[in-house]
Amino acid sequence: MDRFASISAFVTVVDVGSFVRAAERLHSSTSTLSRQVAELEQHLGARLLNRTTRKLSLTEDGRAFYERAHDLLADLEEVESMATLSGAQPRGTLRVTCSYALGVQRLAPAMASFVARHPQVRFDVSVSDRIVDLVEEGFDLAIRVGMLGSDQLVARKLGTMRMMIGASAAYLKASGTPRKPVDLAKHTVLTYAYSPNPHLLRLTDRQGRRHEVRVSGPLHSNSGDLTIAAAIAGMGLVFEPDYSIQPAFDAGLLVRVLPGYDNTPYDIWAVYPSRRHLSAKVRLFVDHVERQFKAAGVGR
């Protein structure tokens, strides 16, 4: 029996909650993992998992063994990370999740320059605007704006972004241009589902006074790109992050509205599972993204 492989299989099965997901993460098969865990139980002379057709659960012995085995694997990962950071090239697959717009506008260039420096690293990227469970779904890292998710995660600030309001020239010609925040209540505003409060816009003037305006419109979507496209087509005003909407301003497709008003900045975070040790490839990539964001003026 390969004890290391069996222990790694057992810990991964517990981490993700099933043999199927563990097999996907380890690029193995469910039958192989089942055999490895069974051999480990036989070697220890103790049952570690209760298996039913619907769920897995740890036995009392299994819970105690899992805690020690998890720390053991983390210690081994740290030793490997120290060796990597001391000179060897980072390698392996880095599983990352981020929103579509943030990925396209900010993360893709950072990944390209990182791979140019570290060609043995591969990226497996899942684009989603929802809050992904990093541990449950097996991700190494998330790049998030504002909301971090579980308090069991570790977060590192990378920069900030601000929200901007835009509309097409045709819409403004037909409906008029808002001159102050209260005017927004009379306009058609396209709203984004994952905003903390999609129908309440919060703005700050140059004197630091805060303004809150309740808005509504005919489109409510979980896609920021869709709301921007609808605004370009003349459907209404849109309130989106600077990195999402700036290309439309630069191309002349949208006109910025209420430029004298700003909103509270939202922090951009690197978020990873709360564990004592962090792999070298994650640590190096987060450092790299932070440098890239600073060079691009993100958060200045």
Query: Domain residues of the chain, as ranges?
Result: 3-85, 92-159+266-295, 163-257
What's the pLDDT tens digit per position in 246-256?
A: 999 999 999 99
> Contact 277/74 with Cβ under 8 angstroms?
yes
Alpha-carbon radius of gyration of the chain: 24
> Does the pLDDT at position 88 exceed 60?
no
Are domains 92-159+266-295 and 163-257 of this chain identical in fold? Answer: yes
Query: Tokens 């993460």, residue?
Result: 25
Q: How far is residue 119 from each of residues 90, 91, 229, 234, measured CA to CA in Å?
A: 9, 8, 36, 44
What is the enclosing helix (H) or strand (E) of 228? helix 224-232
Rounded to whole angstroms, how far apart are CA atoms 37 and 97?
A: 30
> Contact 289/270 with Cβ under 8 angstroms?
yes
Least Cα distance to 179 among 203, 198, 207 occurs for 203
Residues in the chain, total? 300
Contacts of 272 by beta carbon, 8 Å cutoff, 6+ apart:
134, 140, 141, 142, 153, 154, 278, 282, 286
Q: How far is residue 133 from each of residues 137, 238, 296, measured CA to CA in Å?
A: 6, 29, 29
Exposure of 244 by Cβ count < 10 A (0-12 exposed, 13-18 middle, 19+ buried)? buried
> Does the pLDDT at position 80 exceed 90?
no
Write down the pLDDT at residue 41.
93
Statement: 3-85 belongs to CATH 1.10.10.10: yes
What CATH number does the domain located at 92-159+266-295 have? 3.40.190.10
What is the enclosing helix (H) or strand (E) of 161? strand 153-161
Write down the pLDDT at residue 298.
66
How far is Cα of residue 74 from the mean position of the Cα atoms in its chain? Answer: 23
Q: Looking at the domain covering 163-257, what would its CATH class be?
A: alpha beta
Rounded to whole angstroms, how far apart are CA atoms 35 and 239?
A: 53
What's the pLDDT tens digit per position in 40-49?
A: 999 999 999 9
Rounded to whole angstroms, how far apart are CA atoms 162 and 256?
A: 13
What's the pLDDT tens digit per position in 149-205?
A: 555 678 888 988 888 999 999 999 999 999 999 999 999 999 988 787 889 998 988
* Beta-carbon-side half-sphere exposure of residue 284 (alpha carbons within 13 Å): 22
Least Cα distance to 94 among 272, 281, 295 occurs for 281
> Contact 33/13 with Cβ under 8 angstroms?
yes
Average pLDDT, the chain: 86
